[in-house]
Amino acid sequence: MAVEPLEWDTPLFQTAITQYEQALPHADVDAAAAARLRFPERAVMVSVPVRLDDGTWSVFPAYRVKHSSVLGPTKGGIRYDPHVSLGECAALSMWMTWKCALLRLPYGGAKGGVRCDPRQLSLAEVQRVTRRYTAEMMSVIGPQEDIPAPDMATNEQTMAWMMDTYSMQKGYAVPEIVTGKPISIGGSIFRNEATGVGVVMVVERACERLGWRLRDQRCVVQGFGKVGGIAAHDLVHRGAKVIAVSDFSGGVHASDGLDLEHVQRWVDEHGSLAGYAEADHVSNAELLELHCDVLVLAALENQLTGANAHRVNAKLIAEGANGPTSVEADTILADRGILVLPDVLTNAGGVTVSYFEWVQDLGRLFWNRNEIRARLGEKMSDAFDRVWSLSLQRDLSLRTAALVGGIREVAAALSARGIYP
Ligand code: GLU
């Protein structure tokens, strides 16, 4: 029985559903599981009243959507952004489910956030938003139920406030309630770098399969934050050339390669790339169309669409962000022979080290950097190899192969458990 449209039925959720439907025929899933997994299990919407520094009040809509708890607690980030909506969280929670399952982490997907403009808020205001959001979500989060993590505009400090708010309610420290915390309160070594380094691990593995050398690649990186910034530095560290990077203020480009240390110092001092004098400035739209070998998308969703995909001048695209390529763009890029390394595989380093953090917290036993990096490498390579082989065997795009890999894991568990009652 068709009951659509549903409250979360937005363009981004439609993208997630269309990708799911493209993967389903190849995933051999029973009809009940296939129908069930089209829906998030639970969607919570609250409003977060916050006193601003000037004494006035704002009330922000906020969400937490859990897509699937079949494999374990739900897991996913919390974002602070003016575009946060029920539909966005629903789409992102579904992608988290496939991502966790593909990486064989014992989690389902979730995503949440507060619809606010973090650039307009002081640190004290962000702290009040975070603590009230956490208090509103007390009954739906938990170390065995749902474990938040950083996402757009949230970070270690945000997670520390969440952990503290939750722990104060419980009466004892509960480090395992969130991941991406500071190391001083049970965070994991390497969590900060994990998403960006994971992106480069996937790019490197893809280059190997294609017979390319990473050090010959000229790369453009959209985004210079927690994911893009780390990925850009790691690409250079591994010998590749980064010829352009961007942030919310626009992009900088030097066809001989950027001096990233210099760029980083500028950003640390001035807060953005604006005004950087040692390279040409390009708009975000121009950056996406620069001539390069590898284009890393590590900023926002919906960046390559039907409107610009035919002007992309890269050979390989790596999705560090979630959902940066629309369904239409996927088709255009495939027709043009441009390979897309999909988000659910490419940016999975973050949630993988989040899983390591949670395991370390639960066991109260902490691992060293080499151990974590090696385990991350194993997990990413294993998932990459499964996706690559399936894509070759069944003649599927890497995205569809990655989704098939994730969907099969969840559907097998759901079929084994059965649908309650
Ligand atoms: N927000 C990140 C993601 O989209 C990390 C989630 C996590 O570590 O739980 O994958």
Could you tell me if the CB of 77 is within 6 A of ligand 1? Answer: yes
User: Strand, coil or helix: what is 395?
Assistant: coil
Could you tell me if the CB of 79 is within 6 A of ligand 1? Answer: no
pLDDT at 179: 98
Report which residue type is found at 274.
Answer: A
pLDDT at 3: 62
Give the C-alpha separation, 16 to 405, whole Å. Answer: 15
Give the C-alpha separation, 209 to 216, whole Å. Answer: 15
Could you tell me if the CB of 200 is within 6 A of ligand 1? Answer: no
Q: Are strands 339-341 and 316-319 parallel, antiparallel or unpaired?
A: parallel
CA distances in angstroms from 260 to 249, 301, 315, listed in the order given = 17, 25, 23
- Cβ neighbors of 273 (< 8 A, separation 6 or more) are 224, 245, 246, 247, 249, 250, 251, 252, 263, 266, 267
**Atom 7 in ligand 1: residue holding the nearest Cα:** 351
Closest atom of ligand 1 relative to the 322 alpha carbon:
4
Task: At 243, list the tokens.
Answer: 């010829």
The full length of the chain comes to 421
Tens of pLDDT along 216-270? 999 999 999 999 999 999 999 999 999 999 999 999 999 999 999 999 999 999 9
Query: Exposed, middle or buried: residue 183 (CB in 10 Å: 0-12, 13-18, 19+)?
Result: middle
- The catalytic residues are 111
Instruction: Give every residue of the chain whose pLDDT is below 50, as ranges.
Output: none
CB 287 within 8 A of CB 253: yes
C-alpha triplet 62, 68, 71: angle, nearest 5°: 135
Q: Please report how the helices 398-417 and 369-394 are oriented relative to each other, as an axis angle in degrees rounded to 10.
A: 100
Give the C-alpha separation, 219 to 292, whole Å. Answer: 6
CB 65 within 8 A of CB 111: yes
**Atom 6 in ligand 1: residue holding the nearest Cα:** 76
Could you tell me if the CB of 76 is within 6 A of ligand 1? Answer: yes
> How many C-alpha atoms does 390 have within 13 Å on its Cβ side?
21
Domain boundaries, the chain: 43-184, 188-421
CA 23 to chain CA mean position, Å: 20
Q: Are strands 241-247 and 218-222 parallel, antiparallel or unpaired?
A: parallel
Computed on alpha carbons and rounded to an integer, the radius of gyration of the chain in Å comes to 21
The strand ranges marked E within 52-103 are 57-66, 74-80
Written as one string, the DSSP assignment of 382-394 is: HHHHHHHHHHHHH
**Atom 9 in ligand 1: residue holding the nearest Cα:** 76
- Domain at 43-184, CATH class: alpha beta
CA distances in angstroms from 401 to 83, 167, 211, 286, 335, listed in the order given = 29, 40, 21, 30, 17
Tell me if domain 43-184 and domain 188-421 are identical in fold. Answer: yes
**Atom 5 in ligand 1: residue holding the nearest Cα:** 351
Could you tell me if the CB of 357 is within 6 A of ligand 1? Answer: no
CA 375 to chain CA mean position, Å: 19
Task: At 223, list the tokens.
Answer: 């985004």
pLDDT at 1: 52
Closest atom of ligand 1 relative to the 75 alpha carbon:
9
Instruction: State which of 111, 151, 358 you would mutate to test the pocket of ligand 1, scoring each by most atoms of that ligand within 8 A of its C-beta.
Output: 151
Tens of pLDDT along 322-376? 999 999 999 999 999 999 999 999 999 999 999 999 999 999 999 999 999 999 9
Options 3.40.50.300, 1.10.1520.10, 3.40.109.10, 3.40.50.720; which CATH number does 188-421 get? Answer: 3.40.50.720
Question: 257 C-alpha vs ligand 1 centroid, how far in Å?
Answer: 30
What are the φ and ψ backbone dihedral angles of 82, each rounded to 5 degrees? Answer: -65, -15
**Atom 10 in ligand 1: residue holding the nearest Cα:** 351
